[in-house]
Amino acid sequence: MQKYQYNLPASSALCLTVFKALLLFMVITLGGCSMLGKPVEPPAPEVITIKVPPAPVEPAVVEPEPEPVTKPVPLPIPVPEIVIEKPVSLDVAIIISRDIENYHHLSNEIGRLITLKGGTFEPLYLYQQGAAEIIQQIKHEQRQQVVAIGLEAAKAAKMLQQIPVVFCQIYNYQDYNLVTEHLKGVSLIPSVDQQFKAWKEIVPELKQVGVIVGDGKQPIIEQATQSAAAHGIALISRAVKNDKEMWEEFRRLIPQVDGFWLLPDNRILSKRTLRNIVPYSVKHTTPLFTVNGLLLQDGAMISAAQVDSDIAEKVVTRLLATAPDNTIPGADIVPLELAHIIINTHTAKRFNLLIPNDNTEINIERWPSSEDSATLTQ
């Protein structure tokens, strides 16, 4: 194939070059507009995965379910148990040791008080019946309580064992082991406090009082020492074993004291000793205080006698206090609260003492007088 070559003039060549430039400009412009019509999407972001260790899992806290709210039920108020003790019914046998007047007076007073308390009583006399016979009778009649007046009566009543017994008119009770849970007593000694009160009123300068006792009397001495101190008196005591020691100790003690208290301890007091003691005290102008009214006629200055109503009240009170098991609560021996004070006017004048007027707190009586005959027979 034969190629033909055309040679254009210079002006035409220029025009062609301009035409090509315009054509290229148009292509570029149109391409740019086309590109502007579509938004250019940004490149996708790179995803970086970071591994984070898992957080520790705390144990789940389980909340307790709330308890159902209920109104509190009030507890029943405890009612204290009321124990109504059945009052003691008095059904008493009174055993009397000896046929002497003051024992009979006392038995009657105790029986009278038992009757006032709605009870019953029966006197039984040891000088009429044997002890075994009386005890058998008490068991047969099912008596509930016993009162024993005097030593022999208390020794007999001790055979009953489970029946409550209250004894009186006994001084040396400890020598016979009379006290048990079912067997207790009332003192023989009139009110110690009233005795000291009377002594101090009759002998105002009384500071020291001597007393001599046998074995086993420490309890009464301790009580008396406290009572004496309350009245400004010091009690000086000695213990002896027989009447010989009693007489010797008495003579040593008299110069040291302002008065002497003579207790009815037959273990250390013989008739001979008593005959010596009273005149010796008068000779040495030392007042003698006693619980034996018979010694007034021998020269004793003051005698303190029991009061039957006081003894009876203490006896019956002890019976009424008997426990359901027939035991008797309280002290082995309960003291008396009254005393009948008798002053020997002859001895008081010999000692130049002024006899006080009647005292409303103390039952004071002058002797000799026909009114004192009953007291002096005790």
Mean pLDDT of 57-68: 55
Whether residues 251 and 182 fall in one domain: no
pLDDT in tens, 90-142: 999 999 999 999 999 999 999 999 999 999 999 999 999 999 999 999 999 99
Tell me: do 155 and 107 sit in the same domain.
yes
Whether the Cβ atoms of residue 296 and residue 313 lie closer than 8 Å to each other: no
**Which is it for strands 340-344 and 302-305: parallel, antiparallel or unpaired?**
antiparallel
Statement to judge: residues 264 and 329 lie in one domain = no
Q: What is the number of domains present in the chain?
A: 2
In a domain, 68, yes or no: no
Mind listing the pLDDT tens digit for each residue in 72-82? 555 666 655 55
Prediction pTM value = 0.75
Note whether residue 35 is domain-resident: no
Within the chain, how many helices (H) and strands (E) appear? Answer: 11, 13
Are residues 178 and 230 located together in one domain of the fold? Answer: no
pLDDT at 129: 95
> Residue 84 falls within a domain, yes or no?
no
Same domain, 329 and 243: no
Are 345 and 238 in a shared domain? Answer: yes
pLDDT number for residue 77: 63
Domain hosting 199: range is 192-306+337-376
Q: What is the pLDDT of residues 290-319, one digit of tens each?
A: 998 899 999 999 999 999 999 999 999 999
- Assess if residue 183 is contained within a domain: yes
Average pLDDT over all residues of the chain: 84
Q: Return the CA Rg of the chain.
A: 60
| Residue 254 lies inside a defined structural domain of this protein | yes
Q: The domain spanning residue 155 has which CATH number?
A: 3.40.50.2300
The per-residue pLDDT for range 255-304, each reduced to its tens digit, is 999 999 999 999 999 999 999 999 999 999 999 999 988 999 999 999 99
Q: How far is CA 83 from CA 76, 171, 358, in A?
A: 20, 39, 49
**Three-state secondary-structure class, residue 323:** coil
Residues 212 and 275 in one domain: yes
CA 98: distance to chain centroid?
39
Assess whether 108 and 202 both reside in one domain: no
pLDDT at 222 over 80: yes
Whether residue 233 contacts residue 254, with contact meaning beta carbons closer than 8 Å, is answered with: no
Closest CA relative to residue 316, chosen from 97, 91, 86, 143: 91
96 and 221 part of one domain: no
- Same-domain check for residues 153 and 247: no
137 falls within a domain: yes
Are 250 and 212 found together in one domain? Answer: yes
Q: Is residue 231 part of a domain?
A: yes
Residue 36: inside a domain: no
